[in-house]
C-alpha cells in the first residue's frame, strides 16, 4: 500500500515593506533562483543598451501553482503541490521539463525555467524558457497512482500549455511514459490528438529517434570541443561522473568509446571506483537492473565525499543542482567540469574553480542537447515527417559545435568565463527580441 501526503504549507510571512521584492525574487535569498539572479547581475555590464530591459530576465512571465489531488490505491485522497513556470516567451513558446521529486520548490522551478530561457537562446532554437514539477516522491506511488497524478497535473496546467504556448518534456523522475500520459490527457481535453504538446514521447506517439541519448551526447560533444581547445587528449583522459542516468550514463559511454577511462561514478546509492577504469557497459547493465551503481562487483566502494577528490581530467556532475559548492570546490582535481545537470555549481564554487584554473562548461550549453533534439521532435510532429537517427545526431552535433565555438570566442573576446559568455550571447538574443517586440499595450 502506498503512502503519500501533502507537504505542510509554509506559515504566512510578514508583509514585505512597500516596494520590497518578495523573498523568492530577492538576490540575497540564494537558493536556485538567487543563484540565477547573481548570474544575470554578472552579465548585465556586457549587455550595452539592452541592459535597460534586464529586469525582464529577473521576473518570470507567469507562475502557476496548482493543487493535484488523487485517489490512492487504498481509497484515501492525497494532495500534492504542482508548479508550471513560464520564464520568458519573447523568442517563442515556453519549453522545459517536468520533474517529480520530493524536494521540488517554487524557487527551484523558477530558476530551472530561467536557465531554459538561457539554454534555448544559447543554441538559438526558437523557444522561450519554462519548467514544471510536482513535490512528490514517485517511489512511494504505484504505477496507477503515478498515472492519475500525471493526468490530474496535466489537466490543472492545461490552461497554459500547448504546442504553440508551452511544451513540457521529461526531467528528473519522468520519462516517455509520463509524456504519453500528458499528451493523451491534453489531447482528450482538446478533443483532438496534439502530439506536439510535449516532447520526449515514445517513438510510436511521435517521439524522435535519438531523444533519450541527446543530452548525454551533447555533453560529450561540447566536452570534446573544449578538450581540443585546451590541448586535452580525450582518448587519454580520466573521467569521473556524478549521476548515471540518461545524461551521465550516456556521456560516460561515449567518452569511454572515445578511449577515456571512467574511474569513478557516484549516484544516490553510493560511489564506485576503479583505478584501471570501470567497465561502463557492464555498469550500465547493473544500474538498469539495480537502479544504482552501489554493489557493482567490478568496482571498489568509496565514501561519497571522496568522490570529489578523485584525480581526474574531466568531472561530469549529472545529478541535481548545488552539488559543487564552496565546501568541495577546492578539493576537485579535474582540469574540466562539464555540467550535465542543471545548476550543479554555485556561484561561490564557480569562482573557486576559476581561480584554480578549472575550465567549467556551464549547464546552459553543456546539457542543451536534450532541448535541441526536443526541438527536432516538435518540428517533426508539425510536419508529420520524421528523420532517421543518423540525421538527428548529425544535426545535433552541428548545432552544439557551432554554439560552443561562438561561446568560446565570446569568452576570449571579453576575458570572461564560459558561463558568463553563454549568458552574454543568450541574454542579448532574448532582450533584443524583447526590444523588437516592444511592450503591449
Task: Indicate which residues carry an active-site annotation.
Answer: 131
What is the number of alpha carbons within 13 Å of residue 339 lying toward its C-beta?
26
Give CB contacts under 8 A, 24+ apart, made by 410-416: 414/46, 416/46
Does residue 341 contact residue 367 with C-beta atoms inside 8 Å? yes
SS3 content of the chain, % helix, strand, coil (to 5): 50, 15, 35
- The alpha-carbon radius of gyration of the chain (Å, integer) is 21
Does residue 316 contact residue 340 with C-beta atoms inside 8 Å? yes
The SS3 assignment for 17 reads coil
Helix (H) or strand (E) holding 238: strand 238-242
Nearest to residue 244, comparing CAs of 276, 289, 199?
Answer: 289
**Residue 347 cell numbers, joined:** 556561484
**Residue 10 cell numbers, joined:** 509554509
**Cα 381 from Cα 167, distance rounded (Å):** 12
Amino acid at each position: 500500500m502506498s503512502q503519500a501526503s501533502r507537504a505542510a504549507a509554509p506559515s504566512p510571512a510578514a508583509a514585505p515593506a512597500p516596494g520590497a521584492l518578495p523573498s523568492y525574487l530577492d538576490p540575497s535569498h540564494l537558493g536556485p533562483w538567487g543563484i540565477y539572479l547573481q548570474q544575470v547581475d554578472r552579465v548585465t555590464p556586457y549587455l550595452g543598451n539592452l541592459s535597460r530591459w534586464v529586469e525582464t530576465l529577473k521576473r518570470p512571465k507567469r507562475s502557476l501553482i496548482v493543487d493535484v489531488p488523487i485517489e490512492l490505491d487504498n481509497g484515501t485522497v492525497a494532495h500534492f503541490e504542482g508548479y508550471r513556470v513560464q520564464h520568458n516567451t519573447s523568442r517563442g513558446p515556453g519549453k522545459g521539463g517536468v520533474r517529480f521529486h520530493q524536494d521540488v520548490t517554487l524557487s527551484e522551478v523558477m530558476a530551472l525555467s530561467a536557465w531554459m530561457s538561457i539554454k534555448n537562446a544559447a543554441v538559438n532554437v526558437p523557444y522561450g524558457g519554462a519548467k514544471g514539477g510536482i513535490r512528490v516522491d514517485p517511489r512511494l506511488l504505484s504505477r496507477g497512482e503515478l498515472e492519475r497524478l500525471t493526468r490530474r497535473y496535466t489537466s490543472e496546467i492545461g490552461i497554459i500549455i500547448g504546442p504553440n504556448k508551452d511544451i513540457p518534456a521529461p526531467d528528473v523522475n519522468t520519462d516517455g511514459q509520463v509524456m504519453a500520459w500528458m499528451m493523451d490527457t491534453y489531447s482528450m481535453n482538446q478533443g483532438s490528438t496534439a502530439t506536439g504538446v510535449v516532447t520526449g514521447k515514445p517513438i510510436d506517439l511521435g517521439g524522435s529517434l535519438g531523444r533519450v541519448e541527446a543530452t548525454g551526447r551533447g555533453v560529450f560533444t561540447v566536452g570534446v570541443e573544449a578538450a581540443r581547445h585546451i590541448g586535452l587528449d580525450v582518448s587519454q583522459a580520466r573521467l569521473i561522473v556524478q549521476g548515471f542516468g540518461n545524461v551521465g550514463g550516456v556521456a560516460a559511454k561515449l567518452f569511454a568509446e572515445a578511449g577515456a577511462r571512467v574511474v569513478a561514478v557516484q549516484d544516490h546509492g553510493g560511489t564506485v571506483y576503479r583505478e584501471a577504469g570501470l567497465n561502463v557497459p557492464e555498469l550500465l547493465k547493473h544500474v538498469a537492473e539495480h537502479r544504482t551503481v552501489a554493489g557493482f562487483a567490478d568496482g571498489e566502494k568509496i565514501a561519497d565525499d571522496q568522490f570529489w577528490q578523485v584525480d581526474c581530467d574531466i568531472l561530469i556532475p549529472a545529478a541535481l543542482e548545488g552539488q559543487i559548492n564552496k565546501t568541495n570546490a577546492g578539493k576537485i582535481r579535474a582540469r574540466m567540469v562539464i555540467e550535465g545537470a542543471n545548476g550543479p555549481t554555485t556561484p561561490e564554487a564557480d569562482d573557486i574553480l576559476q581561480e584554480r584554473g578549472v575550465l567549467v562548461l556551464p549547464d546552459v550549453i553543456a546539457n542543451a542537447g536534450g532541448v535541441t533534439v526536443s526541438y527536432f521532435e516538435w518540428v517533426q510532429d508539425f510536419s508529420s515527417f520524421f528523420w532517421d537517427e543518423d540525421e538527428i545526431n548529425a544535426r545535433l552535433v552541428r548545432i552544439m559545435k557551432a554554439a560552443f565555438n561562438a561561446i568560446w570566442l565570446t569568452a576570449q573576446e571579453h576575458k570572461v568565463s564560459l558561463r558568463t559568455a553563454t549568458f552574454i550571447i543568450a541574454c542579448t538574443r532574448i532582450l533584443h527580441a524583447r526590444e523588437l517586440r516592444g511592450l503591449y499595450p
